[in-house]
Amino acid sequence: MKTARLWQMFAFLAVTLALGTAPARAGHHDRDHHLAVNKVHGPLSVMVLGSGGPMAMPSGRASAGYLIFVDGKPRILMDTGGGTFKSLAMSGTNIHGLDLVLLSHMHIDHQDDLPAMVKTIYFHARAAGTRRTAPINIFGPGANGLTFPAAMFPDASKSTQYPSTSEFVNGLFNIHTGLDRYLHIFARAISGGVFNYTVTDIPAPAPPKVAGQSVSTIYNHNGLVIKAIAVIHGPCPAVAYRIEYKGHSIVYSGDTSSKTGNMAKIARGADLLIYDTSIMDDLPNGPNDGVFFKLHTTPTRMGEVAASARPDELLLSHLTPITQPRLDTVRSLIRAQGYTGDIDVAHDLKVINLGDDGHGGDRD
């Protein structure tokens, strides 16, 4: 009996090891043509990993997250909200070569799956038969210094409400003090490579100083250019991003009320503008719901920004129970401001390829 159990254990271990070393689905040659990764082609593409907001919804949308492909290779994670890890798994994409992470702000629904994404990079490296040594380069907003209100939190009145991106990331991964510091030895133990990262804070001052910010270039290498600008998201430091490659561009608002002209600055003439679509002009309207209008963009304001910036396509994302059933009204309000480009709605695992014709290209 003991011998039989031993053999069962050995068999289980053998299967586990085999699964651990089996190649992950990595690209266009996979036999399953229904995988989202097999819809990616062309110089610049975006795969939606999460099109929802912070609230769990029956529609099953993950929180905010996007995967950017450059020449068909996954290079950039743009936010990593809850559920984006599962979307990545379902997409069939191997991200062992991914080297850039762009965090728009430090709300949970935009960064919660970051440790899981980082860990899977090294499992994907193992599965691909390579050892990763290149660092993962993480960008996000710096702290803005706003503290908790003394009247409400007298014991925390000197504590800032939000950490900088470097404080957040080092709090996870610093080899001496990080909560997930074990990854430094774990990556080597599984033969995934050497865990290494950099983190860069982008200036994101508190209102009203946000209005005076300019678009800055935070990355420029081999034709891939990434730009950023601070935007208003209530008291939370936040940035919007623009990714440019081979004449094509993707802009991501993150979460913002769009109270300044900064979104129009960074979105000018983009192929694709991914926009925070969380509230209506008049909803939500319950007690204390005025806070949402300080955090997010109304459809009318979105239309004003889009009409000014004139992107080829507007992608409605970060959908909530407020906006998901009212998308026809959202479109009408945007059109009423004079925007004439394409309007599309995000869903998880949607792929948009920016083609060689100078326009938005094709999509799933």
Beta bridge pairs of residue 354: 44
pLDDT of 13 higher than 80:
no
pLDDT of 245 higher than 50:
yes
Mean pLDDT for all residues in the chain: 92
Q: What pLDDT does 4 receive?
A: 44
Q: At what angle do helices 114-127 and 165-173 cross, to 10 degrees?
A: 50
Q: How confident is the model at residue 15 (pLDDT cuts 50, 70, 90)?
A: very low
CATH says 40-354 is which class? alpha beta
pLDDT of 228 higher than 70:
yes
Contact in structure between 21 and 332 (CB atoms under 8 Å) = no
Over residues 18-33, mean pLDDT: 45
What does the longest C-alpha to C-alpha distance in the chain come to? 77
pLDDT of 240 higher than 60:
yes
Q: What pLDDT does 355 receive?
A: 79
H/E stretch holding 6:
helix 2-21
Over residues 224-238, mean pLDDT: 98
Per-residue DSSP letter, 303: H
Distance of CA 120 to the CA centre of its chain: 16
pLDDT of 358 higher than 50:
no
pLDDT of 1 higher than 90:
no
Domain parsing of the chain, residue ranges = 40-354
Q: What pLDDT does 192 receive?
A: 98
Q: How confident is the model at residue 32 (pLDDT cuts 50, 70, 90)?
A: low
User: What gap in Å lies between CA 87 and CA 74, rounded to an integer?
Assistant: 14
pLDDT of 142 higher than 50:
yes
Over residues 340-356, mean pLDDT: 94
Is 158 exposed, middle or buried, given 0-12, 13-18 or 19+ CB atoms closer than 10 A? Answer: exposed
Per-residue DSSP letter, 255: S
Q: At what angle do helices 2-21 and 114-127 cross, to 10 degrees?
A: 100
pLDDT of 33 higher than 90:
no
Beta bridge pairs of residue 76: 68, 100
Contact in structure between 341 and 306 (CB atoms under 8 Å) = yes
175-197 pLDDT per residue, tens: 999 999 999 999 999 999 999 99
Provide CB contacts within 8 A for 155, sequence distance 6+: none
Q: What pLDDT does 199 receive?
A: 98
Could you give the 3-state DSSP secondary structure of residue 79? Answer: strand
**pTM for this model (two decimals):** 0.91
Question: Does residue 284 have a cis peptide bond before it, meaning omega lies within 30 degrees of 0?
Answer: yes
Over residues 105-115, mean pLDDT: 98
Q: What pLDDT does 322 receive?
A: 98
Q: What pLDDT does 23 receive?
A: 39
User: What gap in Å lies between CA 279 and CA 209, rounded to an integer?
Assistant: 25
Over residues 113-140, mean pLDDT: 98
Q: How confident is the model at residue 272 (pLDDT cuts 50, 70, 90)?
A: very high
User: What gap in Å lies between CA 107 and CA 218, rounded to an integer?
Assistant: 22
Could you give the 3-state DSSP secondary structure of residue 136? Answer: strand
pLDDT of 250 higher than 70:
yes
Over residues 108-137, mean pLDDT: 98
For the chain, what percent of residues have pLDDT higher than 90?
88
Beta bridge pairs of residue 221: 224
What φ, ψ does residue 149 adopt, rounded to 5°? -65, 130
Per-residue DSSP letter, 271: S
